[in-house]
Amino acid sequence: MNETAPPDHRLLRSYGRLKSRPIKPRQAALVETLLPRIRCPQAPFDPAGLLPGAAETWLEVGFGGGEHMAAQAARRPEVLILGAEPFQNGVASALRHVEEQALANVRIEDGDVRTLTARLPDASLARIFVLFPDPWPKARHHKRRLIQPETVAEFARLLRPGGAFRFASDWADYVDWTLARMGAHPAFRWTAERADDWRRPPADHVATRYEEKRLGDCAPVFLDYLRV
């Protein structure tokens, strides 16, 4: 990916639905009023400048309804959390969480995460979360999966040494897919030492509505990696 300028948006495509049911009036109002105030800058930027004094910056890719992102932001007000989500209903839901909890440390990219990561400098993130992404289970759709060699390379660029990457899924094939692609990149080390390390939610994990629906074909699996 281009590290100095955002890619041409016409070349990017976010698969899946971008909107489903009509957005509720209250949430629609937040899209008009709150989102412009907390939207990520549209030019290349250093996240350290968005929240003066922030201890570090985290990124959640595809935050869904925003439950996990908001809960982490509430727990760690000293951390700036960037969230990217192309699904409009999810963005509207996340804005409600931000308003209700008066979260000052959240910034949102209402679009494809690739347009955000291309604007961030090297080693600018301390953590990245990819939680229960669309599994695209059919073989012909695997190219649409978020975890690809180029995505892993971009995460390696963005994470500082000692940074952390967490992937979670309840689709066994996607877990295997991710293990293979993360394992192929020398910048990442899988931290698991025993089966419970991937079978049990990490101590700081926050369950989401999607996770609790158990729509996959296996129990949730959590993969934590260290940026070496």
159-169 sheet: strands from edge to edge: 106-109, 79-84, 56-61, 125-131, 159-169, 221-227, 188-190
The DSSP bridge pattern shows strands 221-227 and 188-190 to be antiparallel
Q: Considering the candidates 134, 173, 197, 224, report the single residue annotated as catalytic.
A: 134
**Whether 86 contacts 14, CB under 8 Å:** yes
Assess whether 134 carries a catalytic annotation: yes
Q: Which residues are catalytic?
A: 134
